[in-house]
A and B are shown apart, each in its own frame.
Chain A
């Protein structure tokens, strides 16, 4: 490996170690953190929680990385697709209520409707708007998806107002040990996320269509020559990425409150993850998601004003990685 290459790996690792230690340092320095046994258990809970959250983040990151890997498109509207998933879940969850029936639909079950709906939406967007600009200046799809995101936010706001909503589901806690407990919805979300991301991984690895997608990601021209209809692949990839985002949205809806604007921060989170993990790299996205989940939880737990600082943590992480080692942990060298 080239000298510069090794150096950048060291710098990135060093930076990550520093980033993870920083919350501890700040916490101790500001007196926000007191070391005792109780705290240790809290810490473990936080880390576990972070991993769970990372699982959900993985849903959005993986979709975004697919879209980028295959089409070099940076989908700024990705967070809005997540938000869309959350809102669809909420609507379906409360649907019987609209008819006066006092029953709630299991959110996980609603995925049966939500995911295909978003899938079709994704197909349409790619076909109408984006297919024509793949391969051109990279900025054009960026602007188009940006416009799409803004439109989505405001359409949802128009219909649902800016109020926060939640989907109350499995909020009870699961007792892992005497002192450590986690809410059931987090565990379920993680399990779902795991199943889905492994499923997609298998799909990409083994199924014919999945292989076609990977081929197109590696070299679209060669794929075309091999008889793959790359326009069709683009459309399917975007739709797949969109449904993965929506799946993430479903899982988000059962854990956190959301409103039309929460999509924006998830977009940034997704970007930070794929840049950390390596744009276009599936496993990198999963790793990056877990890491960011844990980091965010550490920050929010140990730093004063933690919840606001969490956003800054994601931004800072992204910018630093772009400067130290732009291809992230596992990305391919570009150009």
Chain B
């Protein structure tokens, strides 16, 4: 069954990960991962440390190549492509620690991302609109390095949207960000989802995941152990065990 028939059948799937494997020496970081990311929703990818979620994220964004497995996006297997190729197919990502261009202005940061075939004027307009979207318009001509950390996060977020991607992968967006800014960021994310974008969030912050994601995928030891709605995940024994471990008598520990 190929991805096209999957898409035709019922819920649209934006990204399908099939049997993904990646090992580093003796350790299998990802040991058969299968995900069907629903289109047009905000999904969360969680798991305890060492669960392989970061490696999976890096595999999806082309930073590392999988040993085997496929990743289907719009009918094409993108596993093993380079980051810029994946980007050009409509998948964008942000970084856990912001990687904005420090010695370029905010506007230049935005402008550095766009298809070479897009007329400069269109690119400029889009940049202006996106800067407004994240309320950074006032800082348009400020050097990226002079922004506060929260502003950098917003810039990185806006920059990733320049080419109007369909799938947006966010790497721990809540890391190091204060509550107010986080609320802001989450509002924007919801606005994006409202216009049909698919968003996947890798996170440790359970509040963010449980309150904002429509579907959650849980990984442990390189495989996905559960998926479902927030309340389903919260009550899932395997998930609790993965995070909190078992007591000596074999019963699952409560927090």
Contact = CB atoms under 8 A, between A and B. Distances in A.
Q: Do A and B bind each other?
A: yes
Contacts of B25: 1-3, 5
A324 to B, nearest CB: 19
A4 B157 CA distance: 34
A2 B25 CA distance: 3
Contacts of B24: 2
B65 to A, nearest CB: 11
Nearest to B25: A2
A164 B77 CA distance: 66
Contacts of A5: 25
Interface in B10-35: 24-25
Nearest to B27: A2
Interface string A13-36: 000000000000000000000000
A57 B28 CA distance: 43
A5 B25 CA distance: 9
Nearest to A1: B25
A3 to B, nearest CB: 7
B67 to A, nearest CB: 9
Nearest to A2: B25
A8 to B, nearest CB: 13
A5 B24 CA distance: 10
Interface string B208-238: 0000000000000000000000000000000
A55 to B, nearest CB: 37
B158 to A, nearest CB: 27
Contacts of A2: 24-25
A165 B120 CA distance: 64
A3 B25 CA distance: 6
Contacts of A3: 25
A1 B24 CA distance: 8
A5 B27 CA distance: 14
A16 B227 CA distance: 52
A333 to B, nearest CB: 12
Nearest to A6: B25
A1 B25 CA distance: 5
A122 to B, nearest CB: 33
Nearest to B24: A2
A3 B26 CA distance: 9
Interface string B86-130: 000000000000000000000000000000000000000000000
Interface string A95-126: 00000000000000000000000000000000
A2 B24 CA distance: 5
A3 B67 CA distance: 11
A323 B24 CA distance: 21
B102 to A, nearest CB: 12
A1 B26 CA distance: 7
B101 to A, nearest CB: 15
B114 to A, nearest CB: 28
A3 B24 CA distance: 7
A140 to B, nearest CB: 15
A116 B25 CA distance: 48
A6 to B, nearest CB: 9
Interface in A262-298: none
Interface of A: 1-3, 5
5 contacts: A1-B25, A2-B24, A2-B25, A3-B25, A5-B25
